[in-house]
Chain A
Amino acid sequence: MTTAAALSAGAAVDLPSVSYGQVKAGAAKPYGTDPDLQKVYRPGDLWSLTFDARQIKTAGALADVILPADDLGPAASTLGVVDMLDEWVSAPYDTQQKDRPVILDGLVWIDAESRKRFQKDFADLPESGKTAICDAICDPAKAVKEFRTAARFFSKFRALCAGAYYATPDGWKALGYVGNVALASFDGPPPEVLAQLGVEQTVV
């Protein structure tokens, strides 16, 4: 396999080591080894979803704190990120099954924490309340002992939200991806990029 292929699947991180295992039997049905690749899939098309109204509300509120509307792009919840998260935690595969309790327990925790501190569900808090809770758990490397589990949840939740958000064309714009369009020629990086990098195009 090629490095480019490997990197594109997990750009920023080392790849998880490959398991040679097969799909485990479970409640939801895997899509199998020959799915239709042309079809556009929406969460819920392949397996039933998990979130109830409250989980949707909490997850949406947290997703929007992590990826809010701003000049770089719309808020996460408006791009279907919550549905994608729901699809993720409901999926029959190993990685997703491992993430499922982390996310579901975390959503319970964050509402409980919110009620403990502010007597309201997380989604109903003003920005300042949401930030107060998130600040304690946003950095797993710095979280104090009592918040460590919650920090692991936040880290996973943020990673999954970002994986979903940046999978959309709006997310591409936010990140600066401008491909996936047919071009008549490939000209390489434009002059200002070459200048910034201090390199020259070596293929003429």
Chain B
Amino acid sequence: MPIITSSKTQPEYDVAIVGSGAGGGQMAFTLTLGGLKCVMLEAGRNYDPVTETPMFQTKAQGPLQASRTEDKPFGFYDATVDGGWQVPNEPYTQASDKPEEQFGWWRARMLGGRTNHWGRISLRNGPYDFKPKSRDGLGFDWPISYEDVADYYTKVEMLIGVYGTNTGRENTPSSPDGVLLPPPKGRASELVTQKYAKKVGVPVVPIHRAVLTKPLDCQNIPAKLHPGNAWAQKIVGDSMLQRAACFWATECGRGCSIRANYQSTTVHLPPALATGNLDIVPNAHVREITLGPDGKANGVLYIDKTTGQEARIKAKAVVLAASSGETVRILLNSKSNAFPDGLANRSGLVGKYLMDTIGTGVSGQVPLLENVPPHNEDGAGGSHFYAPWWLYGEQKAGRMDFPRGYHIEMGGSRGMPGGSNPLPDDLGRGAYGRKFKEEARRYYGSFVGYSCRGEMIPNEDCFCDLDPTVKDKWGIPVLRFHWKWADHELKQVQHAQRTFVSMIEAMGGTVRSRLESDPLKYIENGGKIIHEVGGALMGETAEKSVCNQWNQTWDVKNLFLCDGTPFPSNADKNPTLTIMALAWRAGDHILEQARQGNL
């Protein structure tokens, strides 16, 4: 079975999967290797990183030195297709016009979704992160604990390949021995940060990212992932053989033609297709889930974007993994007599408790890093180090004025130049001619930046619903976002700002960001960190949640939500590894149900 057009679909499938990103990709992998016949509907076009990635293109070879534009908001070479803060023909709206109450919704419309260009930072949630309410009384506990997910984290890490070290730090789980790939060496700015951050109490350690720093062990891993299933092992092993190790050049955000980093399109979908159990229909924009007389989902209704016509797919079970916002939208748009307020929404909670990661950043300039002899720092195409949250104890002891933590991401390498001025006017002080070139060279590599990636508490003011009037190109109602930061978040960014200033000063550097005093002015807008999760939280009861612990909706037994929607909290850890671990776990549950004849 292959990538097909709408007219070639089968009369019925075991499972229809909506979306081909992290959640959909993992689900397709788990289910097809488990023997189920699946169809994947993807709103974006087909996309092949092996032939389409601009690996070594210089910025001079792109328009406007590849700098960001409204069409390509993260730069010309960013892998995103038909996406960004706006997607052609698919608007969304804001409930408020206050600047601090805006929500930015980043989407991509391509096979593999946002996994083609994500940052590849892959952190496990820790034990506290599944039971946050039990610790501080705020938000919601998950109906599962770290132990329920640990083995799935390990399986995902073995499959996609994650570099890093076990640091043994609090609430920062270790992977079993031999699972993580070797961490890359620290870069100049990272090592300097590490040394001086220590003086202000901030621990800087190797980060975990989904990049192969050596080839995957295709002899042994497949047997660990699929014990007793020689057929699945062969397929997964063959697929791993197709992946090269990172060659220490080119930004991962462009995608990776040698498949050295994780993209759904290079890691999940090739083996899933190789099973012969998967059809993929690109350009298929799902409008709603259809419901049978028995109250179960029986398929999906979608727009074939190549013709503009509506089409249907029948399936015994449906998985939604269209990204958190879009999954909510599909549910709310799937109205019926049984579900007048949207499918699986008897609790009234679909769309509620939307979360993003709390973000703020401070940049600086560090004289110690000036005039460093040229050397290659491309490395693994993204960060090598970060600082995990280090003040759990202080929070527990009630000595902090905000409840949850943040980790620090950092940048500052001698990255590929072009498209921006390497010598700001205030440093160049009028330099031109040879002086300019000397000064630019002197300062190159001496700029650093630190970003807060923190945990917000789900609140009543952050949610999305259907806009009462606005519709997309196909007449489908669009989402309207409501957003308001609470005091917890504002206190956290104040702490982060102080921390970053002290780190930069400890290095003998100067802060370059303008430091605002009002945190509402420097906390990033909701959605801006592109970690949106929530909207259909999992919980213990049908009254107080939308899904159970298997990502399965309480109201419709054969409907599973396998993106970030079921998250009842959004730990500071970037969400994607957890999305995949939960999708694999839910997939195993679906396979078990199928074996019992319950599909």
Contacts and interface: CB of A to CB of B under 8 A. Distances in A.
Interface of A: 1-14, 18-24, 30-35, 37-38, 40-41, 45-46, 65-68, 70, 72-73, 80, 84, 87-88, 91, 93-96, 134, 138-142, 155, 158-160, 162-164, 166-169, 171-172, 174-190, 192-194, 196-203
A177 B375 CA distance: 7
A37 B77 contact: yes
B3 interface: no
B436 A9 contact: no
Interface of B: 45, 51-54, 56-77, 81-88, 102, 104, 119, 121, 165, 183-188, 191-192, 194-195, 206, 247-251, 253-254, 361, 363, 368-369, 372-380, 382-384, 409-427, 429-434, 436-438, 440-441, 443-445, 447, 449-451, 512-514, 528-530
Contacts of A94: 70
A166 B441 CA distance: 11
A188 B189 CA distance: 11
Contacts of A20: 85-86, 102, 104
Contacts of B369: 197
A-B residue pairs, 8 tightest by C-beta:
A167-B418, A139-B430, A188-B185, A7-B411, A2-B119, A176-B374, A3-B411, A159-B421
B86 to A, nearest CB: 5
A203 to B, nearest CB: 5
Given A72-B434, A168-B58, A91 B409 contact: no
B414 A180 contact: no
A177 B444 contact: yes
B530 A1 contact: yes
Given A8-B416, A21-B86, A200-B191, 16 more contacts: A1-B529, A2-B409, A2-B411, A9-B419, A12-B427, A18-B73, A20-B86, A23-B71, A87-B63, A140-B425, A163-B418, A167-B60, A168-B58, A176-B444, A182-B247, A189-B188
Nearest to A159: B421
B373 A87 contact: no
B430 A142 contact: yes
Interface centre among A2, A158, A180 (most CB of B within 10 A): A2
Nearest to A81: B60
A13 B53 contact: no
Contacts of A187: 185
Contact of A178 (B86, B104, B374, B413): B374
B414 A176 contact: yes
Given A10-B420, A180-B416, A202-B186, A33 B71 contact: yes
Given A155-B425, A189-B377, A8 B249 contact: no
Contacts of A1: 74, 119, 529-530
20 contacts: A7-B449, A21-B86, A23-B70, A31-B72, A34-B81, A37-B52, A87-B63, A91-B69, A140-B425, A141-B426, A142-B430, A158-B432, A162-B421, A163-B65, A174-B437, A177-B415, A179-B249, A196-B373, A197-B372, A198-B368
Nearest to A127: B433
A197 B451 CA distance: 23
B362 to A, nearest CB: 9
Nearest to B409: A3
A155 B418 CA distance: 17
B81 A33 contact: yes
B576 to A, nearest CB: 12
Given A174-B437, A177-B444, A202-B191, A40 B206 contact: no
Nearest to A2: B119
A84 B429 contact: no
A201 B191 contact: yes
Contacts of B253: 5
A192 B373 contact: yes
Interface centre among A10, A68, A72, A80 (most CB of B within 10 A): A10
A158 to B, nearest CB: 6
Contact of B383 (A2, A46, A164, A177): A2
Contacts of A5: 74, 119, 251, 253, 382, 411
A12 B424 contact: yes
A135 B76 CA distance: 35
B589 to A, nearest CB: 32
B440 A175 contact: yes
A193 B191 CA distance: 11
B500 to A, nearest CB: 11
Contacts of A172: 416-417
A188 B372 contact: no
A175 B188 contact: no
Determine the main DSSP class of B at the interface with A. loop
Contacts of B102: 20
Contacts of A188: 184-187, 191
A11 B58 CA distance: 16
Given A21-B70, A37-B52, A175 B417 contact: yes
B199 to A, nearest CB: 13
B432 A65 contact: yes
A4 B382 contact: yes
A179 B414 contact: yes
Contacts of B419: 9, 163, 167
A179 B378 contact: yes
A65 B234 CA distance: 63
Contacts of B433: 65-68
Given A70-B437, A167-B419, A3 B383 contact: yes
A186 B248 contact: yes
Contacts of A174: 437, 440-441
Contact of B184 (A22, A46, A186): A186
B1 to A, nearest CB: 26
Contacts of B250: 180
B67 A163 contact: yes
B417 A166 contact: yes
B422 A175 contact: yes
Interface centre among A3, A72, A169, A196 (most CB of B within 10 A): A3
A41 B62 contact: yes
A199 B192 contact: yes
Given A11-B420, A12-B421, A183 B60 contact: no
Contacts of B81: 33-34
A13 B76 contact: no
A1 B79 CA distance: 13
Contacts of A8: 251, 411, 413, 415-416
A175 B444 contact: yes
B74 A167 contact: no
Contact of A186 (B56, B379, B431, B449): B379
A7 B450 CA distance: 10
Contacts of A34: 45, 81-82
B86 A22 contact: yes
A33 B88 contact: yes
B184 A183 contact: no
Contacts of B165: 203
B449 to A, nearest CB: 5
Given A155-B425, A199-B195, A9 B67 contact: yes
Nearest to B87: A33
